[in-house]
Amino acid sequence: MSDENLLTRREFTVESALAMLAGVTITISGCGDDDNATPAPTPPPAGGKRGVVGSGPGHTHVGADITAAQLTAGNAITLTLTGSGHTHTVALSQTDLGQISAGTRVSKVSSNVDGHTHVVTFN
């Protein structure tokens, strides 16, 4: 097998964490190294979808919560993921919100900031 087909330790760790978190309501992965502390979790939005943030190697983000009002309205929204000294955004269309509300798994890629993105999965 050539070296170009081998996973790095970092890639293996991220892929392993994603496999373990596959059943979590919302997973964000693919972070780079950062020395900032993990933000404290907030209570889930009443009647909405809870944003569970999986940490990558070095940092994590919060803010992937959808409120009940946002789900009911069904209008496209943009979520802002905060923490670790930078933010990412995740755009959700009307179709995405309808599928999330119905319990269908939806995965979206966040904006690219500091050379990395996050995959956000809503179950």
Give the predicted TM-score (pTM) of the model: 0.61
Task: For residue range 98-123, list pLDDT tens digits in order.
Answer: 888 888 888 888 888 888 888 888 87
Calpha distance 28→40 (Å, rounded): 16
Calpha distance 12→31 (Å, rounded): 13
- Long-range contacts (CB closer than 8 Å, 24 or more residues apart) made by 71-79: 71/47, 71/97, 71/100, 71/101, 74/98, 74/101, 79/51, 79/120
CA proximity to 17, closest of 53, 63, 42, 44: 53
Task: For residue range 26-51, list pLDDT tens digits in order.
Answer: 545 554 544 555 555 556 567 777 55
Cβ-count burial of 40 within 10 angstroms (0-12 exposed, 13-18 middle, 19+ buried)? Answer: exposed
pLDDT bucket at 78, cuts 50 / 70 / 90: very high
Domain locations in the chain? Answer: 3-122
